Structure 1
Amino acid sequence: MYLPPQFKAKDEQHARDLIRAHPFASLISTDDAGQPFVTPLPLHLLEEAGQTLLLGHCAKANPQWRYLQARPQAVVTFMGPHAYMTPQVYADLARVPTWNYLLVHCTVEARLIEHFDDKDRLLKHLIHDHEPAYADQWRGLPSDYQQKMMNCIVAFELKVTDLQCAVKLNQHRPECHVALKSRYAAGNDHERELAAWMDRLGLTADTPGSKEGA
């Protein structure tokens, strides 16, 4: 993706935190005609044995799993908080609007997961992420029903081979940081989350000494 150096996150923990806070991703691969094919879906971040993995599944009726089987390399994007930025945060009126955002872009290699027990393990990761109490209900369902549900999905493991994290918060314009942070802190959920990230990155001092890096 296009990533100006001033907006490239320098701490890999930022990417991990964004993925866990915003797990609803876009999985992008190519169909048989070479056109992009996109599936929105939640993914679980798993780090083990020195690898970064994303675990998920799609409906068996969704052809994306066949595309992944034929062409395992794909792209996953996680969109974090984002919001409009008004030029009114500048004292200088010769400014234009922009959009601030946090985004994680992963290149991945896909591997399909077919065995019932492996699928079950994957699903329990997702259940733990979003509704831990449901685990007991799932375990209590009849085995034939569980098998039927498993047969309706295709699970996959996406090994991250390259990761980029964009943190665009106007780091290169420290003269606007105080006014921008104030506006975002009083705004909607996305804006308040961006304000919290400005605090995390030290982008709150209205001086040239504000931290530039993410």
Structure 2
Amino acid sequence: MYVPPRFAQTDRDQCLALIEREPFGLLATAGDDGVPFATHLPFLVERRGDEAVLVGHVARANPHWQAFDGARKALAVFQGPHGYISPAWYATSAKVPTWNYIAVHVYGAPRIVDDAGAARKAIAALTARFETGRPDPWEMSSLPEREADKLFTALVVFEMPVVRLEGKWKLGQHMAEEDRLGAVAGLTREGGDVALADAMKPERETV
């Protein structure tokens, strides 16, 4: 990813926190024919001591899992708040439109989780992550064993140790403060992404 130094997010914890907030990512690998293959899916971030691992699953019918040999490199892309920025919002003139955004790229080599117990635990953890906060959370344990067996047979669970992280927080850091605050006000006034407006505030540059 092209990341000018002024937009680089070098705080590993901030990048991982973005993935935890926005877990639906895009996983891409290069096929044997050189053509990229990508799958959209939700991820969990597991912190194992100093190591961070992305955990996910794909349908067994999806051929993508055949590339998860623990050696072939992959890229997982996550996107935070983003939106169009009108030059009409700036305090000074002679500016052009742009798009502000937050993005994180994760590099690693996915590997299949062969242990059936670990695979089930991973699916249960992913489900619990998104059921949290519901008035009556659904649990994997409520699924009849026969149906659970069918489910896990139809899925391939994998994990991808994080080898490298790239974070890009393009939030107008290169603009004069009055222009940046004008863009924040414009986003807020015209119904733009509230999270983006909040992140663009000068005191929130690293958030």
TM over 0.5: yes
User: Does 1:186 pair with 2:199?
Assistant: no
User: Does 1:134 pair with 2:135?
Assistant: no
Are the structure 2 counterparts of residues 145 and 11 from structure 1 closer, same or farther at C-alpha, using a change threshold of 3 Å?
same
Contact 2:69–2:109 (CA under 8 A) maintained in structure 1: no
Q: CA deviation at 1:183?
A: 1.6
Runs of at least 5 residues in structure 2 that lack an aligned partner in the other structure: none
* Alignment partner, residue 69 of structure 2: 69
Contact 2:82–2:101 (CA under 8 A) maintained in structure 1: yes
TM-score (normalised: structure 2): 0.90
CA distances 1:148-195 after superposition (whole Å, capped 9, x unpaired): 11010111001110001110001011231111111222344x621012
Q: Which amino acid is 2:195 matched to?
A: E
How many angstroms apart in 2 are the aligned matches of 1:2 and 1:123?
Answer: 34
* Alignment partner, residue 41 of structure 1: 41
How many angstroms apart in 1 are the aligned matches of 2:181 and 2:16?
Answer: 27
Contact 1:29–1:67 (CA under 8 A) maintained in structure 2: yes
* Alignment partner, residue 11 of structure 2: 11
How many angstroms apart in 2 are the aligned matches of 1:183 and 1:2?
Answer: 27
Q: Mapping of 1:101-180 within 5 angstroms? A: 101-132=101-132, 133-135=137-139, 138-174=140-176, 175-180=178-183
How many angstroms apart in 2 are the aligned matches of 1:187 and 1:47?
Answer: 39
Q: Which amino acid is 2:154 matched to?
A: C
Q: CA deviation at 1:48?
A: 1.0
Q: CA deviation at 1:32?
A: 2.1
How many angstroms apart in 2 are the aligned matches of 1:32 and 1:12?
Answer: 32
Q: CA deviation at 1:70?
A: 7.7
SS in 2 for 1:57: strand
How many angstroms apart in 2 are the aligned matches of 1:187 and 1:38?
Answer: 34
Q: CA deviation at 1:57?
A: 0.2
Runs of at least 5 residues in structure 1 that lack an aligned partner in the other structure: 204-210
SS in 2 for 1:79: strand
Q: CA deviation at 1:90?
A: 2.5
Q: CA deviation at 1:84?
A: 0.4
The alignment of Structure 1 onto Structure 2 pairs a total of residues equal to 202
Q: RMSD of the alignment, in Å?
A: 1.8
Are the structure 2 counterparts of residues 92 and 198 from structure 1 closer, same or farther at C-alpha, using a change threshold of 3 Å?
closer
How many angstroms apart in 2 are the aligned matches of 1:76 and 1:180?
Answer: 30
Contact 2:112–2:157 (CA under 8 A) maintained in structure 1: yes
Are the structure 2 counterparts of residues 106 and 122 from structure 1 closer, same or farther at C-alpha, using a change threshold of 3 Å?
same
